[in-house]
Chains A and B, each alone.
Chain A
Amino acid sequence: MTALYASGLEKAFGPHPVLRGIDLTVASGDVMAILGASGSGKTTLLRLLAGFEQPDSGIIRIGNRVMADQRDMVPAEQRQIGYVAQEGALFPHLSVADNIVFGLPRRQRRAQFRVRELLDLVGLPAGYGARAPHQLSGGEQQRVALARALAPGPGMVLLDEPFSSLDAALRVETRQAVTDALAATGATAILVTHDQAEALSMARTVAVLRDGRLVQVATPETLYRSPFDADLARFVGDAVLLPGAAAGGWVQCDAGRLPLAAGAAQGPVIVLIRPEQIRLTTPEIPGMPRATVTDMTFYGPDARVGLILDRARPAGGGIAITARVAGHNTPVVGMRLGIMVEGTVTAFAVPASISEALALD
């Protein structure tokens, strides 16, 4: 069943177009992340869905109800959509419990309806109800904000960069609590974020927004392994991009002859290899691509290794690539190593102008 259907959404602020035609369908019960860099229009999209802004054109349907088109819109207060603002936006003059029941009818507010249950849902002890918002940590505030949004039982919850203000450790923990709470209620959730790790780990579907257009809507795995283009590949993670030639489901490049994930590409391509696919081997095996270690950043569990890859045709020095290796076995700068790529790779067709330049090379 479709929870949300949006078509042809456009929005401009003054002369600046922010959304340039968004078509989006979200299935009921889905957790979708809208991923985009700052200025991509993701927050504007969320605000259109919430009803804080009216689209210039296009239509928004939630369930069976048309919420907005270019003439009319249902105001936010009548949409029954939960909303979790950046940093939670708890009402500072109300206790945690009063915050949670804020959106309920007066009688249920008096009775502190379901406060205990909702606190439990977001993983907070029942004793937190009496606290003032400023006595909570940032992550706890976010959880209360989610409990407050879920209290009236909305079919859909919108979350606007809910974890961006939290520090790393708290972020992981809060993310998990929010994911669990959303799963438990079965509400459809749309989450806006600029953090690719957050989008990939939390969502079942990721929609990538770039310059006001949706570039790709896919599962996290597909998005990471087979992004739509090279820019997107770099946006959703570290990427090693090499020129290559594709034929019959394989691609030949400086990192060797590699199997393609999808075998359609032919001719000159850009090959996407993720740094964690690259295995470093010693000693070098004859015939295997070789590289020299130029730098290394050690993180503990793993390390990022900078390498210069020898080119098959020694035309103009090597190509800088990075590899991600486990922390227990790291190379030393200056070392000569063999390179092996695990798994399949993705190839992007090269625009004609660039392929000519490459051919000259």
Chain B
Amino acid sequence: MTIGVPVGPARRLGAPRFAAWRVASRRRRTAAGSRPPPFPLLAAAAIVALLGLLPIGVTLSRAMQVDVAAAGALLFRPLVGRLLFNTLALVAAGTLTAAVVGTAAAWFVERTRLPGRRIWASLAAVPLAIPSFVTSFAWVSLSPAFQGFPGALLVVTCAYYPLLYLPVAAALRGLDPALEETARSLGCGPWQRFTRVVLPHLRPALFGGMVLVALNVLVEFGAFALLRYRTFTTEIYAEYRTGFAGPQAALLAVVLMMLCVAFLAIESVARGHVRYARVARGTGRVATRYPLGRARLPVLLGFVVLVVVTLGVPLGMILFWLTQPGAAAITPAEVSAGILISSTLSSLEYGAAGASLTMILAFPIAFLAVRYDGPVVAAIERAAWLVQGVPGIVVALALVALTVHTLHPLYQSSLLLVIAYAILFLPLALVSIKASLQQAERRLEDVGRSLGLGWAAVTRRIVLPVAGPGLAAAAAMVFVAVVTDLTTTLLLAPIGTHTLATRVWVDTSTLAFAAAAPFAALMATISLLSTGLLAHRFGGTNRLRNDLTPGARR
């Protein structure tokens, strides 16, 4: 198996938008032939790619409307500096704490005789299924002291440390124990072995995970807004709310997009550099685990605290407020069963519609990317890659601007919201669709043909059984992402339409915590159930893919 790239299960868990993405040109093409792609497919993919780039185009063109001097004045004001500082400080601190917590947890689970390792290992992945603004809701409703930077850092660490835990744990499992034994025989003690052998091996996983955390922090809106921590996203939203949805917001959005794209670029360049091929297959032996000795109790306690903080508080606070009457919160409000049902239904409906459209739009690009080669295909893939760099708030704002001015019938329509979801989650869907299509390799189809099957039979008996589960998983992931999405829904939902996410938002913003709780509970339940089902059902997908990919061993 190839070690180096954190092909973490993070990708499968859905909730954060950024999981892992491979840039087209670096990927080994397994089945790309020299045939040119059929024109209808190419056209469809190109149209989708253009649609994906639309928000970038709109934002840039609106930002261009400002003349240079005004733009300078707008960009170089103290507010922008403060936003930049706030955002980057949180990015830096959040990636670091997530890296430390994630690596420590992974090391103890994978390399020591920690009691209850399996339980800790599964609990470490769960926070990914809880939307970070729900985590924010929990902490803010616990005490207003959690507002501001410390609270934001806490929420970021809780929500995103699995993005480091998962790849680092996978890298630790993949580390050939013979390497450390050889280092021992060459005179290296425990600390030297960690710094000179283990850490270099973890570097790609660490780095990849940290960039993912950074990207997620950059685009996060709801969690920070609830904590009253001002970043680019919250400021863009504020400008939108105060009616100046014009050039200022567009300029801020351009800065934010540039930050995102910069991080994306760092990630893909670094991934190309630090890819360590495992030199040999190794013995496949399991590494010896260190006994914890006296550290056993403190370490166990550490894990208990970690789980209480990352899962206990968010879920516990929801439960607590569920049992409270509406009047117990700072702002009393009651929830009627009718609203509960209607917002659950609209969440589910949008989830289904969003997932369907995203899958339909993503499929041509994914198919093209897996089966064909060439400059046009590469350009389309690049475009899809770039879409990752567009935060939800920027997508939403661009679509608002576009429809208010030119396509007014679409403004505040459900269709527009679903299109926004499709653009936003296109990259997420692409990763999994491509992965599952790669499993249905061309040579399998060739074998089917040679056994006398027509294309319909090949599709029914080979492609669907092999790729089908992966496609279903992709759709389910987008579904969860839509249900837990706040930003886009908040800006684009038709007036009078509420989803679970926007309900949590509204009630938490007005400090009606008890009122927010049932919505948060429902949303968390949907997300946890779907993700749990996904992980259970498709837990082995990555492994299977690695085993089947030719050349993956080198």
A residues at B contact (CB < 8 Å) = 50-52, 75-83, 85-94, 102-103, 133-134, 138, 141, 145, 148-149, 152, 158, 165
Contact = CB atoms under 8 A, between A and B. Distances in A.
A103 B186 contact: yes
A93 B183 CA distance: 13
28 contacts: A52-B184, A52-B288, A76-B184, A77-B186, A78-B187, A81-B185, A83-B184, A83-B186, A85-B181, A87-B178, A87-B280, A87-B283, A88-B279, A88-B280, A89-B178, A90-B280, A91-B182, A92-B3, A92-B201, A92-B276, A92-B278, A102-B183, A102-B186, A103-B185, A103-B187, A133-B279, A141-B279, A152-B186
B281 interface: yes
A78 B201 CA distance: 24
B66 interface: no
B82 interface: no
A75 B178 contact: no
A86 B279 CA distance: 12
Nearest to A105: B187
A166 B318 CA distance: 59
In the complex, the 5 A-B pairs of residues with the closest C-beta atoms, listed nearest first = A103-B186, A83-B185, A87-B280, A89-B178, A85-B178
Given A93-B203, A138-B280, 5 more contacts: A51-B185, A52-B288, A89-B179, A89-B282, A90-B280
B507 interface: no
Nearest to A142: B280
A125 B497 CA distance: 73
Nearest to B278: A92
Contacts of B278: 92
A50 B185 contact: yes
B84 interface: no
A81 B282 CA distance: 21
A82 B182 CA distance: 8
A162 to B, nearest CB: 12
B402 interface: no
Contacts of A83: 181-182, 184-186
A93 B273 CA distance: 11
Nearest to B181: A52
Contact of A89 (B176, B277, B554): B176
Nearest to A145: B182
Given A89-B178, A91-B197, A141 B186 contact: no
B189 interface: yes
Contact of A51 (B184, B188, B288): B184
The size class of the interface chain B forms with chain A is 20 to 34
Interface in B167-193: 176, 178-179, 181-189
A106 to B, nearest CB: 11
A162 B3 CA distance: 23
A267 to B, nearest CB: 47
Contacts of A81: 185
A90 B277 CA distance: 11
B179 A91 contact: yes
A77 B185 contact: yes
Given A92-B276, A103-B187, A76 B181 contact: yes
A86 B200 CA distance: 21
A178 B554 CA distance: 25
Question: Interface residues of B: mostly helix, strand, loop or mixed?
Answer: loop
Nearest to A78: B187
Contacts of A85: 178, 181-182, 283
Given A86-B178, A134-B554, A141 B185 contact: no
A195 B288 CA distance: 27
Contacts of B276: 92-93
Contacts of A133: 279
Contact of B185 (A82, A86, A165): A82
A348 B183 CA distance: 46
B189 to A, nearest CB: 6
Contacts of B283: 85-87
Nearest to B280: A87
A141 to B, nearest CB: 6
A79 B189 CA distance: 12
Contacts of B3: 92
A158 B186 CA distance: 12
Contacts of A77: 184-189
B185 A93 contact: no
Contacts of B186: 77, 83, 102-103, 148-149, 152
Contacts of A94: 200
Given A92-B277, A93-B201, A87 B185 contact: no
Interface string B1-41: 00100000000000000000000000000000000000000
A160 to B, nearest CB: 8
A89 B280 contact: yes
Give the interface centre of A79, A93, A102, A134 by most chain B CB atoms within 10 Å. A93
B182 A89 contact: yes
B279 A134 contact: yes
Nearest to B176: A89
Interface string B190-228: 000000110011010000000000000000000000000
A80 B186 CA distance: 7
Nearest to A52: B181
A103 B554 CA distance: 27
Contacts of A149: 182, 185-186
Nearest to A80: B187
Give the interface centre of A51, A77, A90, A94 by most chain B CB atoms within 10 Å. A77
Contacts of B185: 50-51, 76-77, 79, 81-83, 103, 149, 158
B217 to A, nearest CB: 28
Give the interface centre of B189, B279, B281 by most chain A CB atoms within 10 Å. B279
A88 B182 CA distance: 9
Nearest to B186: A103
Interface string B58-73: 0000000000000000
Contacts of B282: 86-87, 89
A272 B196 CA distance: 54
Nearest to A82: B185
A51 B184 CA distance: 9
A349 B540 CA distance: 56
Contacts of A134: 277, 279, 554
Nearest to B203: A93
Contacts of B178: 85-87, 89
Interface string B519-554: 000000000000000000000000000000000001
Give the interface centre of A76, A79, A141 by most chain B CB atoms within 10 Å. A76
Contacts of B281: 87, 165
Contacts of A51: 184-185
Contact of A93 (B181, B187, B200, B288): B200
A47 to B, nearest CB: 8
Interface string B85-127: 0000000000000000000000000000000000000000000
A133 B279 CA distance: 6
Contacts of B188: 77, 103
A81 B176 CA distance: 20
B284 to A, nearest CB: 10
A195 B58 CA distance: 69
Nearest to B182: A89
Contacts of B277: 92, 134
Contacts of A102: 183, 186, 196
Give the interface centre of A51, A103, A148 by most chain B CB atoms within 10 Å. A103
A50 B3 CA distance: 27
A152 B188 CA distance: 12
A165 B176 CA distance: 15
Contact of A92 (B181, B184, B279, B288): B279
A138 B554 CA distance: 12
A90 B187 contact: no
A78 B188 CA distance: 8
A165 B181 contact: no
Contacts of B182: 83, 85, 89, 91, 145, 148-149
Nearest to A47: B181
Nearest to B179: A89
